[in-house]
Amino acid sequence: MSDVFSVELENIVKRFGNVVAVDHVNLKIRENEFFSLLGPSGCGKTTTLRIIAGLEEPDEGVVRIYGEDVTDVPTHKRNIGMVFQHLALFPHMNVFENIAFGLKMRKVQKEEIKKRVKEILEIVKLEGLEYRRVNQLSGGQQQRVALARALVIEPEVLLLDEPLGALDLKIRQHMMVELKNIQRKVKTTFIYVTHDQTEAMTMSDRIAIMKDGKIQQVGTPLEIYYRPSNTFVASFIGEAVNLIEGEVVENGLVDTSLGTIHCAGSLTKGRVAVMVRPEMVEIGDKLYNVDNLFRGTVQSIIFKGSYIEYRVDVEGNTFVIHKHGSAELGRLHHLGDIVEIGWKKNSSIIIPI
The answer to whether residue 55 forms part of the interface with another protein (CB under 8 A) is yes
The answer to whether residue 81 forms part of the interface with another protein (CB under 8 A) is yes
Among 16, 57, 68, 105, binds another protein (CB under 8 A): 105
The answer to whether residue 101 forms part of the interface with another protein (CB under 8 A) is yes
Cα 133 from Cα 344, distance rounded (Å):
59
The answer to whether residue 226 forms part of the interface with another protein (CB under 8 A) is no
The least distance separating another protein from the CB of residue 191, rounded to whole angstroms, comes to 13
**Which residues on adjacent β-strands are paired with residue 81?**
158
Contact 240, 278 (CB under 8 A): yes
Element containing residue 60 per DSSP (H, E): strand 60-65
The answer to whether residue 157 forms part of the interface with another protein (CB under 8 A) is no
Contacts with 200 (C-beta within 8 Å, 6 or more apart), sequence order: 36, 38, 192, 194, 207, 221
The answer to whether residue 88 forms part of the interface with another protein (CB under 8 A) is yes
The least distance separating another protein from the CB of residue 207, rounded to whole angstroms, comes to 23
Cα 52 from Cα 195, distance rounded (Å):
18
The answer to whether residue 66 forms part of the interface with another protein (CB under 8 A) is no
The least distance separating another protein from the CB of residue 73, rounded to whole angstroms, comes to 12
Cα→Cα distances 161→10, 213, 256, Å:
21, 16, 42
Nearer residue to another protein within complex by CB, 159 or 233: 159
Count the site residues for another protein by CB under 8 A: 26
Contact 43, 23 (CB under 8 A): no
Nearer residue to another protein within complex by CB, 156 or 212: 156
The least distance separating another protein from the CB of residue 75, rounded to whole angstroms, comes to 4
Report the C-alpha dihedral over residues 94, 95, 96, 99, rounded to 10 degrees.
Answer: 120
The answer to whether residue 149 forms part of the interface with another protein (CB under 8 A) is yes
Nearer residue to another protein within complex by CB, 106 or 184: 106
Cα 66 from Cα 62, distance rounded (Å):
13
Q: Where are the alpha helices (DSSP H) in 124-270?
A: 139-151, 169-186, 197-203, 221-226, 231-236
The least distance separating another protein from the CB of residue 260, rounded to whole angstroms, comes to 56
The answer to whether residue 218 forms part of the interface with another protein (CB under 8 A) is no
Q: Which stretches of the chain bind another protein, using CB under 8 A?
A: 53-55, 74-77, 80-82, 84-86, 88-92, 101-102, 105-106, 149-150, 153, 159
